[in-house]
Chains A and B, each alone.
Chain A
Amino acid sequence: MLNYVFGGMVVLSLVFALWQDAADLSRNTWRNGESIPLDIVHRDGSSIRFRIDGDSTIIRGDWRPDGDRAEIVVPVTDALPAHWRSVAANQESTRKQELRTIVVASDSTSAAIALPAVRFVKLRAITKAAFDMAETAVTLALGLIGVMAFWLGLMKIAESSGVIRIVVKGVRPFMRKLFPSLPPDHPALGYVSLNLAANVLGLGNAATPMGLKAMEELQALNPDKETATDPMIMFLALNTSSVQILPPVTLVALMGLKVNELFFSILIATTFSTAAAILAVKWMEGRAWRKEAA
């Protein structure tokens, strides 16, 4: 399934990007090659001040002769028209802070210029996103090292001192229903319940290390190391749909005290999603089992 999702996203992104870029080109959304008439207010050597025809804002730029043509290089500021700014942001040149316009005609008081052509915006965007996200992935994983090491260090102590065993005993009756195929005293159940508890309390950074530890324990019981087991899928379903008593830290950071109003709505919505997750897992398990029996 992940193969289809992965391949689908990559291929679709190219299809969509090409489609939109082609639409941009055929409709000339970016008004490529359109000549814009200017009134030159003042020109002194390389510095130039001008107005776009029909507009009163004075724009400063740099007049640069280039063979028999010339360029006006305009620094990008908020004073520029919106279209100019979006051309600057989407131009092919990597120097987004300046707009190199080409002078197509000029005399002493007026000129006409063309903005740089904008093409294949989406195609460039998906390429950039691919590389950026590859980097983000590594930053994310490396950023996890500290918390991971910290929590798994603590958990090792908890395991040796018997805390995990106590937790397993406490949650056994409940967990037995959800994970019928696991040995009832297995430490995996301890990590699973610690992860779920951390999730319920909105402690994201404690939840991940315990969750990964839980996966390792579940993997130790897995006869086929490359294929997910039923308990793994049940665990992930519970994890991603988790009931929330305290909202996640990011939400508090974004909304401040307003988040208190959402206590009940989040609690109720997550109760539904958790119930749906459990039912969906049981249904899928049943389907696989029926398929085997048939």
Chain B
Amino acid sequence: MSALNLVSVFVLPLLIVGIIAYGMIRRVKIYEEFVTGAKEGFEIAVRIIPYLVGILFAIGMFRASGALDFLIAGLRPILDPLGFPAEVLPMALIRPLTGSGSVGVLADMIATYGEDSIYVKMAATLFGSTETTFYVVAVYFGAVGVKRIRHAIQVGLIADAVGAVAAVAVCWWLFG
């Protein structure tokens, strides 16, 4: 583990310096090329704004309405007997929707159950294993202006669901 942490400290500076140094060796006009690329980065960041506003305000309203609490209450009797604890359910449902929301859920769970609780381990594993699918889909397709995304959401949610079940199962197996 500590070796891996060490890698993560070195990988970024080496990558940055390595790319620049290799560019110098290959006699690329590094500064001009950098600026050209950076301009593109600026444009992309601005281009995604409308898509982000669209998806995030809808998610915000949905979350504020308390609809998720109903969903959790409805799913609890089905999932509890299957070994999927209701305590972890909010994380599983909020994680694909919002990054900041799921950070809030996890922080809240740590405060409520303590770091060593198996529920926190499940939720943290879930947090680490899945992505904010809706945000990623909105940003990535928004950046290139694709509006018909076909089955991208379904596939992302299937992966999220499998990730959530796997996170819970693996934690029962490792820590249960």
Contact = CB atoms under 8 A, between A and B. Distances in A.
Interface of A: 1-2, 5-6, 9-10, 12-14, 16-17, 20, 122, 125-126, 128-134, 136-138, 140-142, 144-145, 147-158, 160-163, 201-203, 206, 208-209, 211-213, 215-216, 218-219, 222, 225-228, 232-233, 236-237, 239-242, 244-248, 250-251, 254-255, 258-266, 268-270, 272-277, 280-281, 284, 288
A201 B155 contact: no
A225 B145 contact: yes
A85 B103 CA distance: 26
A5 B135 CA distance: 13
Interface in B1-47: 1, 4-5, 7-8, 11-12, 15-16, 19-20, 22-23, 25-26, 28-30, 33-42, 44-46
A224 B141 CA distance: 13
A268 B166 contact: yes
Contacts of A137: 49, 52-53, 55-57
- Determine chain A's interface SS by DSSP, over half rule: helix
Contacts of A263: 1, 4
Nearest to B52: A137
Contacts of A133: 53, 56-57, 59-61
Contacts of B161: 276
Interface of B: 1, 4-5, 7-8, 11-12, 15-16, 19-20, 22-23, 25-26, 28-30, 33-42, 44-46, 48-49, 52-67, 70, 99-100, 103, 106-107, 110, 115, 121, 124-131, 133-134, 136-141, 143-156, 158-163, 165-167, 170-171, 174-175
B146 A225 contact: yes
In the complex, which of the residues B11, B125, B167 has the most CB atoms of chain A within 10 Å of its own CB atom?
B125
B57 A270 contact: no
Contacts of A288: 150-151
B37 A154 contact: yes
Contacts of B121: 261-262, 265
A148 B55 contact: no
B167 A269 contact: yes
B125 A149 contact: no
Which 6 residue pairs of A and B lie closest in terms of their CB atoms, listed nearest first?
A156-B37, A133-B60, A273-B163, A148-B41, A129-B64, A276-B162
A241 B131 contact: yes
Contact of A157 (B23, B137, B152): B23
B77 to A, nearest CB: 20
Contact of A247 (B128, B134, B162): B128
B149 A129 contact: no
A244 B54 CA distance: 29
